């Protein structure tokens, strides 16, 4: 198969010129490290592992495995993006473990997961965006909504008891917050709940927090009582405008303060993974996490009502919302939504299923148009529907293509769920365009302008090209039983993780092992979750997508108890601010 050859070509050149670095620079034939991963190396190795295995590139897979065994050093010192480390490193290692059963991948995932755990030590459990891997310190108090949801799913049972209260608080925050047009903010505070958030939007908040991040309601009330009626009226009006405009979640909030940094709503970059993981969390729970399903259904209803638009030329797209004004723009990252909506459509009433499948097909068709309307037949980073423009980039800064996967991701889902041959035809067009415009002598490179037949290259073979783009193209042309959607869910980096088809309610009634040291990722997994998390806890996140943390290496229950007490303490802090 041609796509398999492309994967081998991409891997062979990475191995030859950049093995151990994070990405290959194919034009200069050297490696790129970057600053996203806090000193971690080998992002392409970890991202490529499961793709190599799925494609049965056995020799190449063994090369990657050997590097993980002998050269993957976790004793690093640097500031890492918690989101990127989770979706690529944890996701890649965990997926490969589930595919192969080989312990090296699990042990590395556990070791790395434990290094990331301190980032969750915040009052609500919402993690910090950047994390110092050596010291366990959070660097940034600003966290993207989509990045948060990438972290919350996927923590297997052993350590879930330590952070489950935080997960519950996150959901309480999300369920209670008033949101413009029914969507969620891109940034959330690790302290505030919805009721507190409404108050905080009326003031400059930080003066009412103590050093331990506790919000002092009395301080707030005192300062606002001294405000003039005119100023209080202005603040009240601003709050109403932000929180009641059609009920959508604001995209950007400062951590701790919950004050909006921008009044921006989108399903593209910064928030996309959140919506994706709502439906996927439900699927991974064997369809028992009803809370996640309801949140997904409500959010999609708001998207349909307020963001889905049709252009003059009949193209359906999902706009963005900025301060109450629609921005008729759709990013390449938002093109994943066709596949997400199609996946979610399989699990609802027939009328809604049909409507959502039509919507998924229309959005995917629009993203396809963004490809076919370029000279390279590859899509731009973003495209617009204004000033006579239809599915084209009107700004120079949006004309590039960096080997992104979202469009072919939707092709794969729509093919699997409809078997309409056009999706394979469209996918093959992408294969040919990649070969013609992105393949260079020593790998694949992104291009700077999709609207020229002789584009210049950006000299970067992204790790996600091997993890996602080539994997989704390969699966598009495979039989449906290769990573069946009935049994596997893909994280946002296309790393497959198995759906747990266990009866969790029955597991709740079963006794658990007396020693937490015996806990593992095996068959006792759901049983332990049910018992340790308590009633209702079993169905919150089951065997899900990204961060893997475990208590397996802890030597005694005393350490576990200490961490649990921290979580309970922070839960109690937040509970004070949430209405009963």
DSSP per position, 189-243: -SS--HHHHHHHTTS--GGGB-TT--B-HHHHHHHHHTS-HHHHHHHHHHHHHHH
Predicted pLDDT of residue 231? 57
Highest mean pLDDT range out of 22-26, 267-271, 562-566?
22-26
pLDDT tops 90 at residue 187: no
Between 486 and 572, the higher pLDDT residue:
486
In this model, does residue 537 exceed pLDDT 70? Answer: no
Detail the residues annotated as belonging to a binding site: 492
Domain ranges of the chain: 1-203+262-498
Output the pLDDT for position 130. Answer: 82
Q: What is the pLDDT of residue 206?
A: 32
Query: Which pLDDT band, with edges at 50, 70 and 90, does 113 fall under?
Result: confident
- The average confidence (pLDDT) of the chain is 74
Contacts of 226 (CB under 8 A, 6+ apart): none
Angstrom distance (rounded) from CA 230 to CA 228: 5
Mean per-residue pLDDT for 538-563? 28
Could you tell me the pLDDT band of residue 153, with boundaries at 50, 70 and 90? very low
- Of 217-231, 292-306, 552-566, minimum mean pLDDT range: 552-566
Question: DSSP of 126-195, one letter per residue?
Answer: PPPSEEETTTTEEEES--BHHHHHHHSTT--HHHHHHHHHHHHHHHHHHHHS--GGG---SB--SS--HH
Q: How far apart are CA 221 and CA 81, in angstroms?
A: 37
- φ and ψ of 562, to 5 deg: -60, -45
The CA distance from 101 to 50, in Å, is: 12
Q: Alpha carbon of 342 to those of 144, 276, 356, 471: distances in Å? A: 25, 11, 7, 19
Binned at pLDDT 50, 70 and 90, residue 88 comes out as very high
Q: Can you tell me the mean pLDDT for 64-68?
A: 98
The pLDDT, as a whole number, for residue 516 is 25
| Contact (Cβ atoms closer than 8 angstroms) between residue 247 and residue 178 | yes
pLDDT at 495 over 90: yes
DSSP assignment letter at 575: H
Active site residues: 84, 272, 381, 406
Q: Is the pLDDT of residue 142 over 80?
A: no
Confidence of residue 185 (pLDDT cuts 50, 70, 90): low
For 262-294, the pLDDT digits (tens) are: 456 778 776 768 889 889 989 988 998 888 899
pLDDT tens digit sequence for 424-474: 999 999 999 999 999 999 999 999 999 999 999 999 999 999 999 999 999
Confidence of residue 573 (pLDDT cuts 50, 70, 90): very low
pLDDT for 469:
99
Per-residue model confidence as pLDDT tens digits over 359-413: 999 999 999 999 999 999 999 999 999 878 899 999 999 999 999 999 999 999 9
Q: What is the pLDDT of residue 217?
A: 31
Q: Which of 60-69, 254-263, 482-491, 519-528 shows the lowest mean pLDDT across its residues?
A: 519-528
More confident residue, 311 or 268: 311
User: Tokens at residue 42, please?
Assistant: 């080998």
Pick from 8-22, 250-264, 563-577 the range whose average pLDDT is largest. 8-22
459, two tokens: 């000299």
| DSSP letter (8 states) at residue 467 | I
Closest C-alpha to 91, from 491, 393, 365, 404: 491
* Residue 421 to residues 291, 416, 418, 522, Cα–Cα distance (Å): 35, 10, 9, 39
Least confident of 93-107, 148-162, 274-288, 562-576: 562-576
The CATH number of the structural domain formed by 1-203+262-498 is 1.50.10.10
Q: What is the pLDDT of residue 522?
A: 32
Q: Using the structure block, give the residue that is written with the tokens 């970057």.
A: 34
Give the model's pLDDT for residue 124.
61
For 453, counting Cβ atoms within 10 Å of its Cβ (0-12 exposed, 13-18 middle, 19+ buried), the class is exposed
Q: How many percent of the chain have pLDDT more than 70?
A: 63
Contact present, 185 and 242 (Cβ < 8 Å) = no
**Mean pLDDT (whole number) for 60-77:** 96
Q: At what angle do helices 350-372 and 337-345 cross, to 10 degrees?
A: 160
Q: By mean pLDDT, which of 42-51, 210-219, 337-346 is the weakest?
A: 210-219
Distance CA 260, CA 205 (A): 11
Range from 206-220, 389-403, 563-577 that averages highest in pLDDT: 389-403
pLDDT band at 574 (very low <50, low <70, confident <90, very high): very low
Q: Which of 548, 509, 547 is nearest to 527 (CA)?
A: 509
Q: Cα-Cα-Cα-Cα dihedral of 95, 43, 458, 472, to 10°?
A: -10
Which pLDDT score is estimated for 274? 81
Q: How far apart are CA 183 and CA 246, in angstroms?
A: 10
Binding residues for Ca(2+), by number, are: 492
- Highest-pLDDT range among 128-137, 311-320, 565-574: 311-320
Residue 302 confidence (pLDDT) above 50: yes
* pLDDT tens digits for range 320-356: 887 778 899 999 999 999 999 999 999 889 999 999 9
Number of H helices and number of E strands within the chain? 22, 18
> Cβ neighbours of residue 398 under 8 Å, at least 6 residues apart?
380, 381, 382, 383
Q: How far is the C-alpha of 446 from the C-alpha of 402, rounded, in Å?
A: 4
pLDDT greater than 70 at residue 532: no
- Mean pLDDT across the stretch 256-261? 38
């Amino acid at each position: 198969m041609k796509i398999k050859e492309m994967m081998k070509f991409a891997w062979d050149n990475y191995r030859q010129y950049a093995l151990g670095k994070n990405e290959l620079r194919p034009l200069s034939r050297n490696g790129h490290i970057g600053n996203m991963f806090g000193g971690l190396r080998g992002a392409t190795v970890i991202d490529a592992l499961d793709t190599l295995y799925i494609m049965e590139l056995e020799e190449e897979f063994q090369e990657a495995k050997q590097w993980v065994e002998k050269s993957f050093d976790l004793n690093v010192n640097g500031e890492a993006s918690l989101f990127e480390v989770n979706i690529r490193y944890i996701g890649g290692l965990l997926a490969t473990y589930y595919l192969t059963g080989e312990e090296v991948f699990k042990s590395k995932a556990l070791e790395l997961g434990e290094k990331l755990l301190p980032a969750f030590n915040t009052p609500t459990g919402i993690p910090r965006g950047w994390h110092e891997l050596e010291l366990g310190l959070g660097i940034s108090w600003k966290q993207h909504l989509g990045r948060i949801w990438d972290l919350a799913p996927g923590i297997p049972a052993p350590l879930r008891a330590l952070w489950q209260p935080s997960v519950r608080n996150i959901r309480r925050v999300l369920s209670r917050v008033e949101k413009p047009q029914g969507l969620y903010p891109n940034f959330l505070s690790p302290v505030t709940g919805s009721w507190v958030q409404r108050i905080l939007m009326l003031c400059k908040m930080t003066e009412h927090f103590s050093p331990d991040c506790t919000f002092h309601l009395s301080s707030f009330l005192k300062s606002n009582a001294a405000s003039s009626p005119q100023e209080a009226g202005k603040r009240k009006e601003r709050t109403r405008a932000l929180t009641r405009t059609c009920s959508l979640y604001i995209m950007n909030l400062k951590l701790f303060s919950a004050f909006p940094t921008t009044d921006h709503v989108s399903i593209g970059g910064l928030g996309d993974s959140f919506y994706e993981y709502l439906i996927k969390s439900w699927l991974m729970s064997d369809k028992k996490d009803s809370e996640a399903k309801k949140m997904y259904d409500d959010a999609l209803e708001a998207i349909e009502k307020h963001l889905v638009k049709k252009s003059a030329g009949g193209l359906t797209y999902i706009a963005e919302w900025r301060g109450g004004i629609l921005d008729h723009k759709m990013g390449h990252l938002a093109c994943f939504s066709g596949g997400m909506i199609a996946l979610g459509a399989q699990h609802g009433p027939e009328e809604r299923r049909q409507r959502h499948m039509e919507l998924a097909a229309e959005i995917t068709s629009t993203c396809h148009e963004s490809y076919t309307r370029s000279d390279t037949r590859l899509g731009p980073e973003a495209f617009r529907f204004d000033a006579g423009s239809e599915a084209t980039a009107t700004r120079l800064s949006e004309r590039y293509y960096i080997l992104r996967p979202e469009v072919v991701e939707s092709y794969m889902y729509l093919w699997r769920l409809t078997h309409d041959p056009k999706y394979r035809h469209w996918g093959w067009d992408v294969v040919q365009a990649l070969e013609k415009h992105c393949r260079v002598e020593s790998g694949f490179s992104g291009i700077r302008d999709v609207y020229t037949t002789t584009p210049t290259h950006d000299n970067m073979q992204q790790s996600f090209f091997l993890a996602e783009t080539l994997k989704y193209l390969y699966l598009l042309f495979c039989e449906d039983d290769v990573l069946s959607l009935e049994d596997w869910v893909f994280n946002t980096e296309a790393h497959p993780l198995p759906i747990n088809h266990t009866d969790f309610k029955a597991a709740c009634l079963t006794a658990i092992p007396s020693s937490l040291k015996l806990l593992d990722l095996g068959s006792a997994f759901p049983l332990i979750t049910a018992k340790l998390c308590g009633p209702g806890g079993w169905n919150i996140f089951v065997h899900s997508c990204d961060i893997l943390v475990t208590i397996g290496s802890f030597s005694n229950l005393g350490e576990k108890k200490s961490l649990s007490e921290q979580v309970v303490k922070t839960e109690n802090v937040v509970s004070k601010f949430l209405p009963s």
